Chains A and B, each alone.
Chain A
Amino acid sequence: DQQVKQNSPSLSVQEGRISILNCDYTNSMFDYFLWYKKYPAEGPTFLISISSIKDKNEDGRFTVFLNKSAKHLSLHIVPSQPGDSAVYFCAASSSLQGGSEKLVFGKGTKLTVNP
């Protein structure tokens, strides 16, 4: 049962254009959502997050939008740069016992930004 889904395994865009990565989830109890970027041979790196009570969060070139009614979030990268080429994971925070949290990840979308 995959609670966080990234249905596009790959995305290719031209440098300077917008990249839009999508993510759907099924569990309405998730507290917040995060995007991670992963380069080969490195661990995932935190990019941006959004609380379940917000609908938008912006940080420089990166903006995350949350549509709770549709259980959908998206990451916009404007303008896209070749250095943005990586695998992007959508993740959701899920409660553990004792108030701790774990992350539930999607399968990832490989973004390629062409010069």
Chain B
Amino acid sequence: ETGVTQSPTHLIKTRGQQVTLRCSSQSGHNTVSWYQQALGQGPQFIFQYYREEENGRGNFPPRFSGLQFPNYSSELNVNALELDDSALYLCASSPAGTGYGYTFGSGTRLTVV
């Protein structure tokens, strides 16, 4: 059973650019959630995808968007990058829309300069 894999592991972007982060969910999990963890903070919920539809969203602006594909993998896109977007982005998969039983990936460390 494979876990959650995220790519890339590290990324450096310039302010104003766009970035796409990728996540492959754990086998058997059809729900993917994305979290942002800023330095010294706990993970903050960005949004969740279930059956290729956005299933809930946290307090993040519309320039944060996502997709889920038929194989349950997911992308997080961030447009017009700002310095405060520098953070660890965590993807978590779970069965059937629950928060219970989350499996987290190791994250993508995004640095915006």
> Which chain A residues have a beta carbon within 8 Å of chain B's beta carbons?
4, 6, 32, 34, 36, 41-46, 49, 89, 91, 93-94, 96-108
Closest to A42 in B: B106
Q: How many B residues have CB within 8 A of the partner chain?
A: 28
Closest to A38 in B: B104
Q: Give the interface segment out of B37-45, B63-71, B77-85.
A: B37-45
4 A-B pairs closest in CB distance: A96-B56, A43-B104, A105-B42, A101-B99
Point out the residues of chain A lying under 8 angstroms from B105, CB to CB.
Answer: 43
Contact sample, A vs B, 17 pairs, CB 8 Å cutoff: A6-B42, A41-B106, A43-B92, A94-B99, A96-B48, A98-B55, A98-B56, A99-B97, A100-B98, A100-B99, A101-B98, A101-B100, A103-B35, A103-B99, A105-B42, A107-B40, A108-B42
